A and B are shown apart, each in its own frame.
Chain A
Amino acid sequence: MSPSVALQEMIRAIRSARTQCEERGVIQRECAAIRAQFRQADNGGRSHNLAKLLYVHMLGYPAHFGQMECVRMIASPHYSEKRVGYLGAMMLLDEKQDASLLITNSIKNDLSHSNQYVQSLALCTLACMGSAEMCRDLAPEIDRLLRGTNSYIKKKAALCAVHIVRKVQDLGELFAPAARSLLSEKNHGVLYGAVVLITELCAWNPETLELFRKTVPDLVQIMKGLVISGYSPEHDVAGVSDPFLQVRILRLLRILGRNNEAASDAMNDLLAQVATNTDSTKTVGNAVLYETVLTVLDIKSESGLRILAVNILGRFLLNNDRNIRYIAMTCLQKIVGTDHNAVQRHRGTIVDCLKDQDASVKRRALELSLALVSASNIRSMMKELLLFLSSCPPDLRAEAGSGIFNAAERYAPSQRWHIDTILHVLTTAGGDMRDETVPNLIQLITNASELHCYTVHKLYRALLTDISQQPLVQVACWCIGEYGDLLLRGECQETEPVQVTEDDVLDALETVLQSHMSSPATRAFALTATMKLSTRITDNVDRIRSIVSIYGSCIDVELQQRAVEYNALFKKYDHMRAAVLERMPVIERNSPGHTNGVSVGEAVKEIQPAEVKQGLLQQNANQVCDLLDLLGGSEEPVQPSLAQSSTAPGMSVNTASTAGGDLLDLLGGLEPTPHAPAPTLTAYEKHGVTLTLSCEKQSDSGLTVTLTASNSTDSDISSFTLQAAVPKSVQLHMKAPSGDSLPARGTAKVTQMVVVNNPNKVKLKMRLRISYTRQGSAFQDTVQIDSFPEVSTAGH
């Protein structure tokens, strides 16, 4: 009996229910009837009951009581009942249920049934929910079917074998020979199944992969047949002959040709042919082309072919169809690591896709843009990315923000730019950023000491406009607390200064404290900042005292504790207040960061163990403002003892690190050098010009000194010359310098080698005269070096 009639009546009844409650009632009645029917032993209308149950299951109602019925129906001799029974098994049963074991025997019998459709039902069910034990039991049967003659069964058996191999990898060997022989089939369905099976076998077992490499010529032959042959009506889809099979074969070729020269060579011609012959006006043609491109880029193809492939991708990117653009970007994402330059060529188009309306395209464009950021295009890319951030959908914000931070950290051309960028991100999308941005930004700010004034002005302005973005408010409060005196001074080189009074500043902080938009952490920041200001300002200390005492009875425990402690600072420990609240030292950074010349936090005064370094401490007298005594290229900086890091006000504490970039790795934090390079010493550092010196012992009395000069100011230096003088008994020979101009910002350096011969072993001293022209005016200076770092014998 056809199951559909009763099913349709039930469906009609369910659809006519007007409310959810009515529907539930109808379904419950039907289920009760079905349950009753199931309990009756032999029933003519069994199949339609199960069909009804499956419909109910689709709507989301429980249907587990039908599991045993499925088992019974599968065992029935009638085809219609078997059909529904197997369908029920696939929908309701899975290997975790006990009932699934019971159908193993039925499947086994049905696999050898005389009717091919019954066989196909069994195969289908096994492929959908066969457990590992079932697969092991029935694998020989499947193998037998694979070698049979019925193509309908063979193609199903092939896919069933794929499922078996996925569940039980060892059985792959069993199917390998059969799979090999299936490749000579004419029937496309079987061929397709065979290709899928071989793909699966190669994925699990590298030896099988080797074995199947020999089939590459056969596969190439088949593909040629598909591509070149004329129109064949049964396989044609919009002008391409069986595109599904073509795509599958291309995928298999990709796996076989990966990392293998011989196989890749065999495929080159074919891939070129497919790439040129396939019609790309329809989606099917594009699907084949796309697969070809992926294959070409993945195997060891010749360069002409690779260029062709990237060009095809470029064409895809310009296509109007968004689907094509999406997949082109997916492909470019895969190759951006290996063929970076090729992808860079399409940067413009990719950046345009950021503005597309489609969210999927935007997501792909964002990932690709972040991968394409490099030192040369950082400024323009960042502009685009920031524009994108202000208009992007909310689920992409966090990703965009963190990507921007990473890119800024790696490629920032200057600290000011870096700080500006981060501030911009915080103002646009601060709420979606992760928590570690606040400490990172604070650390960045402390390290850019010359920008403190600028930073605090900017942050103050931002705070006045908007206090809803928590990370921004936290950083702003911290800065105002720390550098409030710079703000009140009212002068700033880098930006328009703001005339603020102490009251204004305290008002701003109080607004943050009282606002209901502020999170508890933000309020804690604000309270601490208010307290810090008590040492930085002069007039309104009483106001601060009153604020702090109010919060001594605040409900929030954290705030209350802080307020009480600060109160104590005012009352009992007033003598310690100034010391406790003074400026914080530069925070050390643990992660390596920078590829540019501007270092962060590496300006560390290291107390070097004795050795040769005592002499160098004299350098303090010579305007060398910090000792970058990274003797032997030490790595992650030793704990800083930093209290006096502000010795050179107005001069960036890190200029010395720009020198010696190529000769000697002073910034050991980036690439820890395992060996000890020649020690260096900063001989001279003034007005942005830095001269470092390194020595290498050539012989008992001979020494080669390499002088490296660099320029960290904003203007170029020309006619840079060095003259040297040594004590009488020492012989000096200066080699030609590498050049005489020092471009701005340390982009290039000048080196000069000086060979010194000291046969009498007198104490070596050298006087250097430095002369150069900058901005039209000439400079001259002299520096004396009294002791040279020797190459130490014992490592560091």
Chain B
Amino acid sequence: MIKAILIFNNHGKPRLIRFYQYFAEDMQQQIVRETFHLVSKRDDNVCNFLEGGSLIGGSDYKLIYRHYATLYFVFCVDSSESELGILDLIQVFVETLDKCFENVCELDLIFHMDKVHYILQEVVMGGMVLETNMNEIVAQVEVQNRMEKSEGGLSAAPARAVSAVKNMNLPEIPRNINIGDINIKVPSLSPF
């Protein structure tokens, strides 16, 4: 069983935390800090397995982690999961994120935290591995996103209009119009 999935950056700021066993909130933060502490000390060419820290639950639990650029993906698992299998699972998860977000980077994870959760829900459920086929996962996530968008209905329209206008590329409005000896100053309009 997977006990927890943590994603944090090189400075220890959490980008996604998901616990499959109940911990109080301050305990959760402490676990994140302790895990960061353990994982950041590791060199880059050592093995990806760590015996767990004292907080996350004792001798049966291992931390399996992978370091991608600025992010650490850490899965805390017990002995019923195959270690190499979990390493592959992390790879599958990251590739899925890549497909869903198109060249995923840390900012995507920051600003779309809820979407990352939904993708994760398709991969791991209740601490157990659910689906490992990347295409299947991506397909399901797309369908659900479409459903959510289509549900927006009427109430979504003004919001969409606003965002549409914001993204419109309006040509630059000249500030000063000089025609011969007439000088017109164009007042600046407040942006939408």
Residue numbers of A with Cβ under 8 A of B are 1-5, 7-8, 11, 15, 44, 51, 54-55, 57-60, 62-63, 78-80, 83-84, 87, 91, 94-96, 115, 117, 123-124, 127-129, 152, 155-156, 159-160, 162-163, 188-189, 192-193, 196, 234-235, 237, 242-244, 247, 251, 283-284, 286-287, 290-291, 321-323, 325-327, 330, 357-361, 363
Q: Is there contact, CB below 8 Å, between B148 and A2?
A: yes
Q: Is there contact, CB below 8 Å, between A1 and B82?
A: no
Other-chain residue from A3, A80, A95, A287 in contact with B82 (beta carbon distance below 8 A): A287
Task: Name 5 extra pairs, CB < 8 A, besides A1-B152, A244-B89, A361-B46.
Answer: A80-B148, A127-B125, A128-B20, A162-B128, A193-B130
Tell me which residues across on chain A come within 8 A of B57, comparing CB atoms. none
Q: Does B102 contact A (CB under 8 A)?
A: no
Greatest chain A CB density within 10 A among B113, B114, B156 is at: B114
Q: Is there contact, CB below 8 Å, between A51 and B156?
A: no
Quote the shortest CB–CB distance from A230 to chain B (angstroms).
18
A84 to B118, CA, bound (A): 9
Closest 5 CB pairs of A and B: A127-B126, A287-B84, A322-B47, A358-B46, A94-B22
Tell me which residues across on chain A come within 8 A of B129, comparing CB atoms. 192, 196, 244
> Which parts of B127-159 form the interface with A (CB within 8 Å)?
127-133, 135-136, 140, 143-144, 147-149, 151-152, 155-156, 159
DSSP class of A's interface residues: helix, strand, loop or mixed?
Answer: helix
Q: Is there contact, CB below 8 Å, between A360 and B50?
A: yes
Tell me which residues across on chain B come within 8 A of A4, comparing CB atoms. 111-112, 114-115
Tell me which residues across on chain B come within 8 A of A95, comparing CB atoms. 22
Nearest chain A residue, comparing its CB with the CB of B83: A327
Q: Is there contact, CB below 8 Å, between B49 and A323?
A: yes
Q: Is there contact, CB below 8 Å, between A128 and B110?
A: no
Residue numbers of B with Cβ under 8 A of A are 14, 16-18, 20, 22, 25-26, 28-29, 43, 45-51, 82-85, 87-89, 92, 110-115, 117-118, 121, 125-133, 135-136, 140, 143-144, 147-149, 151-152, 155-156, 159, 163
Other-chain residue from B22, B29, B82, B147 in contact with A290 (beta carbon distance below 8 A): B82
A237 to B133, CA, bound (A): 9
A192 to B85, CA, bound (A): 14
Other-chain residue from B51, B143, B155 in contact with A360 (beta carbon distance below 8 A): B51
Instruction: Count contacts between A and B, CB distance < 8 Å.
Output: 168
**Known A80-B148, A358-B46; contact A189-B87, beta-carbon cutoff 8 A:** no
Quote the shortest CB–CB distance from A70 to chain B (angstroms).
14
**Known A188-B133, A235-B133; contact A326-B47, beta-carbon cutoff 8 A:** yes
Q: Is there contact, CB below 8 Å, between A244 and B88?
A: yes
Q: Is there contact, CB below 8 Å, between A2 and B149?
A: yes
Q: Is there contact, CB below 8 Å, between B16 and A322?
A: no
Greatest chain A CB density within 10 A among B22, B112, B135 is at: B22
**Known A3-B114, A244-B89, A283-B88; contact A155-B131, beta-carbon cutoff 8 A:** yes
**Known A57-B25, A117-B147, A283-B84; contact A196-B47, beta-carbon cutoff 8 A:** no
**Known A62-B25, A358-B46; contact A163-B126, beta-carbon cutoff 8 A:** yes
Tell me which residues across on chain A come within 8 A of B159, comparing CB atoms. 1-2, 5
Other-chain residue from B18, B126, B148 in contact with A162 (beta carbon distance below 8 A): B126
A720 to B35, CA, bound (A): 69
Other-chain residue from A84, A91, A237, A358 in contact with B88 (beta carbon distance below 8 A): A237
Tell me which residues across on chain A come within 8 A of B131, comparing CB atoms. 155, 189, 192
Q: Is there contact, CB below 8 Å, between A124 and B113?
A: no
A283 to B125, CA, bound (A): 24
Nearest chain B residue, comparing its CB with the CB of A86: B121
Q: Is there contact, CB below 8 Å, between B130 and A284?
A: no
Nearest chain A residue, comparing its CB with the CB of B137: A189
Q: Is there contact, CB below 8 Å, between A155 and B130?
A: yes
A54 to B117, CA, bound (A): 11
A54 to B17, CA, bound (A): 11
Q: Is there contact, CB below 8 Å, between A58 and B48?
A: no
**Known A79-B147, A79-B151, A287-B85; contact A360-B136, beta-carbon cutoff 8 A:** no
Quote the shortest CB–CB distance from A620 to chain B (angstroms).
56
Quote the shortest CB–CB distance from A279 to chain B (angstroms).
14
Quote the shortest CB–CB distance from B185 to chain A (angstroms).
33
Quote the shortest CB–CB distance from B97 to chain A (angstroms).
16
Tell me which residues across on chain A come within 8 A of B114, comparing CB atoms. 3-4, 7, 51, 54, 84, 87
Q: Is there contact, CB below 8 Å, between B125 and A11?
A: no
Quote the shortest CB–CB distance from A760 to chain B (angstroms).
72
User: Could you list 29 examples of A-B contacts with CB < 8 Å?
Assistant: A2-B159, A5-B159, A59-B14, A60-B29, A62-B25, A79-B151, A80-B151, A83-B118, A83-B144, A84-B114, A94-B22, A96-B22, A117-B144, A128-B127, A163-B128, A189-B130, A189-B131, A189-B133, A243-B85, A244-B129, A287-B85, A321-B47, A323-B48, A323-B49, A325-B47, A326-B49, A326-B83, A360-B50, A361-B46
Quote the shortest CB–CB distance from B98 to chain A (angstroms).
16
A155 to B137, CA, bound (A): 13
Greatest chain A CB density within 10 A among B51, B110, B115, B131 is at: B131
Quote the shortest CB–CB distance from B79 to chain A (angstroms).
9
Nearest chain B residue, comparing its CB with the CB of A203: B80
Nearest chain B residue, comparing its CB with the CB of A245: B132
Other-chain residue from B25, B51, B151 in contact with A60 (beta carbon distance below 8 A): B25
**Known A1-B155, A290-B82, A357-B43; contact A159-B128, beta-carbon cutoff 8 A:** yes
Other-chain residue from A80, A83, A159, A287 in contact with B126 (beta carbon distance below 8 A): A159
A1 to B84, CA, bound (A): 41
A323 to B88, CA, bound (A): 12
Quote the shortest CB–CB distance from A485 to chain B (angstroms).
49
**Known A244-B85, A323-B48; contact A78-B130, beta-carbon cutoff 8 A:** no
Tell me which residues across on chain A come within 8 A of B121, comparing CB atoms. 87, 124
A454 to B132, CA, bound (A): 66
Tell me which residues across on chain A come within 8 A of B29, comparing CB atoms. 60
A60 to B14, CA, bound (A): 9
A192 to B149, CA, bound (A): 31
Tell me which residues across on chain B come within 8 A of A359, comparing CB atoms. 46
A196 to B128, CA, bound (A): 9
Q: Is there contact, CB below 8 Å, between B85 and A156?
A: no
Tell me which residues across on chain A come within 8 A of B47, comparing CB atoms. 321-323, 325-326, 358, 360-361
A357 to B45, CA, bound (A): 10
Q: Is there contact, CB below 8 Å, between B84 and A286?
A: yes
A703 to B43, CA, bound (A): 74
Tell me which residues across on chain A come within 8 A of B128, comparing CB atoms. 127, 159, 162-163, 196
Q: Is there contact, CB below 8 Å, between B125 and A128?
A: yes
A124 to B144, CA, bound (A): 14
A323 to B83, CA, bound (A): 9
Tell me which residues across on chain B come within 8 A of A129, comparing CB atoms. 22
A152 to B129, CA, bound (A): 14
Quote the shortest CB–CB distance from B143 to chain A (angstroms).
7
Q: Is there contact, CB below 8 Å, between A8 and B111?
A: yes
Tell me which residues across on chain B come within 8 A of A63, comparing CB atoms. 25
Nearest chain A residue, comparing its CB with the CB of B134: A237
